[in-house]
Chain A
Amino acid sequence: MIKTENLTKVYQTDEVETTALNEVNIEIKEGEFVSVMGPSGCGKSTLLNVLGMIDNPTSGNYYFNGEEIGHLPERKRSNIRKHNLGFVFQSFNLIDELTVYENVELPMLYTKVPSADRKKRVEELLEGMNIMHRAKHFPQQLSGGQQQRVAVARAIVNKPKLILADEPTGNLDSANGDEVMKVLSELNATGTTILMVTHSQYCAEFGNRIIRMLDGKVVTENVVRQYL
């Protein structure tokens, strides 16, 4: 599903040049749950952003479902993104002015899903996440765990092939963190590919493979267990 060849990202400021990704070569197959670990500044979030098509690589190739997309214009990337990818952030990034229901519904507005189907899908997901009773509430009225569940619901509402999660449990206590990891595992079990950046060894082990990074390079890849 994902293949990179010498993927490099260099950030240039006035005088300093930072190589965030240094010739990264990885491959992720459909159905995998891959965790990315490494110390702060090792380039894991940059990798996630490049793979999530919200950032461009400086050089190298990025193949998504066999197509080189690393250098596509924003409009095309946006189109691939909205049909194939779902994002979960550490700080949830829900839109404060929209209710839980509306936040989850939003991606379907961009993919032009008919109204009746949207309603059905949102309700189905909120039921599944156990937050249907909060549908009309605004994000700031929810606990962190609930907010992240809403964020996950929003990420999967368009049935993406790949979910990119950036420290999804970073702002949660352990109980709520477990809850979110459980949801992600269940999604993976139903066939969704997951790429997750995390600091926590505990969370990383929910995946079937762990990629460790240092100074913009992949240093090791451990298989936790064979995915089915």
Chain B
Amino acid sequence: MLKNNLKIAFRHLIKDKYISAINFIGLVVGMVAVLFIWQYVAFERSYDKIHEQGDRIFRVQTDRVKNGVPFMQFASGAACAGPVIAQNFPEVEKYVKLVEAGKALYTYQDKVTFQPKKVYFAMPSLLDIFSFSLLEGNPETFLNEPFTASISESTAKSMFGEENPIGKIITRNGLNDYTITSVINDAPLNSHLKFDILLSYVTYSDVFIGNGSSETAPYWDGFLTYLLLKPNTDWKALESKFPDMLERTYDKETREGMVFYLQPFEAIHLSSNLLNETETPGDGNAVQFLLIIGSLVLIIAWFNYINLSTARSELRAKEVGVRKVIGSTRASLVQQFMTEAVLINSAAIVIAFLLAQLLKPWFIDLVEKPIPLDIWDNWSVLATILAVFFIGTFLTGLYPAFLLSSFKPISVLKGGGSFRLRSAGSGWLRKGLLVFQFIASIGLIASTIIIYNQLNFMQNKKLGVDIDQTLVIKSPIATDSLYSQKAKTFKKQLQNIPIVKSVSSSTSVPGQPFGMTAGVSRWGTEEGALGFHAFAADFNFTDVYDIEVIAGRALSEKQKSDVNSCILNIKASEVFEFENPENALGLEIDFWGDRFKVVGVVSNYHNESPKSEIEPMILRPINERFTPDYFSLKLNTSEISQSIASIEKTWAQIFPGNPLEYFFLDDHYNQQYNAEKLFGKIFSLFSGLAIFVSCLGLFALIAFQAERKKKEISIRKVLGASVASIIGLLSRDFIRLVFLALIITIPLSWYFMNNWLAGFAERISIQWWVFALAGLLTVGIAFLTMSFQSIKAALASPVDSLGS
């Protein structure tokens, strides 16, 4: 019987080759889309899942609060968090603190130079909390002495090749020596905490800081703190005890000025996007959206199958009738139609799998993520394939099978083959599925338009800072005690290069976070400190970047006292509770023990992309303590190839041995839109696929309808109907469904896209015309798809179908 079923299934697929091809192509496209998207999503969701105690690990988030409203939220938060929480709560089994060691060159006996990406000072408890293991060295002595280091496996390979690194001494920026005591395994790609070198935390806390403040200061941020809680601890309850703890340990102001939250470790990658994250986090929302849209492509393909099978079922009625009369049971008929679904679904999944393998490099390029797309290694992807196959087969096979097998032989055999399906249920189902496809198409088009509008809006937004024709040179990695002086000389010499209009040196440039966060209070008061973003720059900065001064003046070289002056942005003056920026002038502040006087307030310019909120900012002058990290060159022209040689020459003279690293600021700034651009790219691609698959189905359905109405069309033509009215006859129902879909789509898309837009500090408002355009496009595409078949049917000679 199986053989017979297979045979007839195969023959039906061949006989209706166009419909089979449409079903097949749709399914393959849908399956490839799902395989890719689900692998991408599986990878994003797999972050930080390798740690055995992962469900008990939490990161401490620090919020800085003013009048009950958080104005800064840190992933790498307060210095005191770990020690104070561990001291107060027995629920905490262990904690580990990590603090970034900053950019530096590491050398080994002047033979090897290495510039690692991520270096942390880390506590020995790292090994007890996370499932990182040592490849070399003794876990008992891991980072427990000052000036010891643990290097990652890949760092060991880069620096020492096959040699054993244990006991070797590496030098940081030519200043401090660290003895390598262990080699730690590399953190996997899907880990938010990655490192090349770990330096012992005790070096930082006991040697560099020395006064214990790194363990007690409540207003010092930049410390990653992870807690390992005892099993079965109610972490929400623990979190709620933190405010009391802060008041007990410090005072009421501290309680009101900061809040600690616990972030479940395994959820950090997709749910946390705070200041000082260890790396650009994933976007949980985007992942959800992509999952939905990837699945939509497949669901649309499944619906095509159901639609076309039920539409075609009238043609199969005779077969069903005959089979029933000669003894087939309903079950064996269901089996037979399921065989067809199995056949087409399995063929589609095999081809989709092969295509996915073939297109893998292209997809990795597209998502710009080295996703390890190894299907055989990844049980969840294998499970996806099986699920797609089984769900697909059941969904697409079952309904048509039950519908077909329900035909009564008496009614289908009576008419000698001219049977018309009158089951009201299937008509509604078909319309329902079509409306769903239209909803998906209109929704996807509208969403794509909204995404690109938002992207455009951000890119064209007036930033309040001039980033054009600005070349930024990074400071040398290896610096010495004369660096401050050398930087001045370098700046001076740059100004002699003809294309350079002006130069400014600073610790940060637009297009990235300010770099410093500081607890600052009014000078001479007992008030608790408030958190601000800060950076240091020379007196040219506001000028070079054309930042508008709203009140007071910019810092000036001519004013000797300006070494102790600072600038706020409007937001910062508001944090100090000045409604009018003018009133902030003359305010004296305590910035890490230094006394500064506010001489100017600048506009709330977009230091980072309009996606981020504008933060309260303090600009203080560059000095011996805060040396420049960047030199910004405002150029007369963007054609710099001629002049770059003279810049390089000057650099080499002043900072010999250091590679010159530079970038154009507009490129650098625009990199902030990469995530949105990528999202837009993937979103529009998969929307396109979904619409394509929908159109395939629509094309087949209207062809089928035209075939079915052949006689009616002919009679109408004989009676004088025009081609246009015939086209109208065929497309009218579909166009009605498009309008129904439009009505349903508007609130749905509006809701989802508003959710997406909520992630942007500055965002567009969704306009009505987006939906009008999306609806129009869908009608247009649907009409184009239909018109070919409709016109063909309308132009056919009536003699052909009426002759018999």
- Please report A residues at the B interface, Cβ cutoff 8 Å: 45, 49, 52, 54-55, 74-75, 78, 81-83, 87, 89-91, 93-98, 102, 106-107, 109-111, 154, 158
Contact = CB atoms under 8 A, between A and B. Distances in A.
Q: Quick one: which of B11, B15, B327 has the most chain A CB within 10 A?
A: B327
A87 B321 CA distance: 12
Given A97-B12, A98-B8, A78 B327 contact: yes
Contacts of B369: none
Contact of A93 (B1, B12, B321, B328): B321
B629 interface: no
A171 to B, nearest CB: 9
Contacts of A98: 7-8, 11
Given A87-B326, A110-B332, 16 more contacts: A54-B325, A54-B409, A75-B329, A81-B325, A82-B326, A83-B327, A91-B416, A93-B321, A93-B325, A95-B323, A98-B7, A106-B4, A106-B323, A110-B326, A110-B328, A110-B329
A49 B326 CA distance: 13
B404 to A, nearest CB: 14
Nearest to B416: A91
A91 B417 contact: yes
Contact of A87 (B4, B325, B329): B325
B449 to A, nearest CB: 47
Contacts of B323: 95, 106
A105 to B, nearest CB: 8
A87 B413 CA distance: 12
B416 A54 contact: no
A87 B4 CA distance: 21
A164 B243 CA distance: 90
Contacts of B4: 102, 106, 109
Interface string B330-342: 1010000000000
23 contacts: A54-B324, A54-B408, A74-B330, A75-B329, A78-B329, A82-B326, A87-B325, A91-B416, A93-B318, A93-B321, A93-B322, A95-B8, A95-B319, A97-B8, A97-B11, A97-B12, A98-B11, A106-B4, A106-B323, A107-B327, A109-B1, A110-B327, A110-B328
Interface in B740-760: none
Contacts of A93: 318, 321-322, 325, 413
Q: Which 9 A-B pairs have the closest CB atoms?
A: A82-B327, A110-B327, A91-B416, A97-B11, A107-B326, A93-B322, A55-B410, A54-B409, A95-B319
Contacts of A90: 416
A49 B410 contact: yes
Size band of the interface chain B makes with A: 20 to 34
A200 to B, nearest CB: 18
Consensus secondary structure, chain B interface = helix
A45 B321 CA distance: 16
A102 B7 contact: yes
Given A49-B410, A91-B416, A102-B4, A97 B329 contact: no
Given A90-B416, A95-B322, A102-B7, A111 B327 contact: yes
A67 B705 CA distance: 47
B410 A54 contact: yes
Nearest to A74: B330
A107 B327 CA distance: 7
A95 B325 CA distance: 12
Nearest to A171: B416
Contacts of B1: 109
A81 B8 contact: no
Nearest to A75: B329
The winner among B321, B322, B326 for most chain A CB atoms within 10 A is: B326
Contacts of A102: 4, 7
A213 B318 CA distance: 28
A118 to B, nearest CB: 11
B323 to A, nearest CB: 7
Contacts of B330: 74
Contacts of B409: 54
Contact of B15 (A55, A83, A97, A109): A97
A97 B319 contact: yes
A89 B329 contact: no
Contacts of B319: 95-97
